[in-house]
Structure 1
Amino acid sequence: MAWAVWFTGLPGSGKTTVAREAEKQLTAAGIRVRRLELDQIRKVITPEPEYTEEERRIVYAALAYMAKLLTEENINVLIDATGNLRQYRDVARSLIPAYAEVYVRCPLDISMEREARRRAGHAPRGIYEKGKTGQSQTVPGLNVPYEEPLEPIITVDTSKMSPEESGKKAAGAILKKFGGSHG
Structure 2
Amino acid sequence: MAWAVWFTGLPGSGKTTVARETEKQLASAGIRVRRLELDQIRKVITPEPKYTEEERRMAYAALAYMAKLLTDEGINVLIDATGNLRQYREVARRLIPDYAEVYVRCPMDLSMEREAHRKASHAPRNIYEKGKTGKSQTVPGLNVPYEEPLEPLVIVDTSKKLPEESGKQASEAILKKLGGSHG
Query: Which TM-score band applies after superposition, normalised by the shorter structure?
Result: over 0.9
Partner of 2:164: 164
The answer on 1:18 being equivalent to 2:18 is: yes
Partner of 2:116: 116
Q: Given residue 39 of structure 2, which amino acid in structure 1 is its aligned partner?
A: D
SS in 2 for 1:7: strand
The answer on 1:28 being equivalent to 2:32 is: no
The 5-angstrom pairing of residues 128-139 of structure 1 reads 128-139=128-139
Shift of 1:120: 4.1
Which ranges of structure 1 fall in alignment gaps of 5 or more residues?
none
The answer on 1:59 being equivalent to 2:59 is: yes
Shift of 1:179: 1.3
Partner of 2:127: 127
Q: Deviations over 1:45-92 (max 9, x none)?
A: 000000000000000000000000000000000000000000000000
Which ranges of structure 2 fall in alignment gaps of 5 or more residues?
none
Q: CA RMSD in A?
A: 0.4
Q: Aligned residues, how many?
A: 183
Q: Given residue 162 of structure 1, which amino acid in structure 2 is its aligned partner?
A: L
SS in 2 for 1:16: helix
Q: Give TM-score, length-normalised by structure 1.
A: 0.99
Relative distance call for 1:93 and 1:139 in structure 2 (3 A) is same
SS in 1 for 2:10: coil
SS in 2 for 1:113: helix
SS in 2 for 1:114: helix
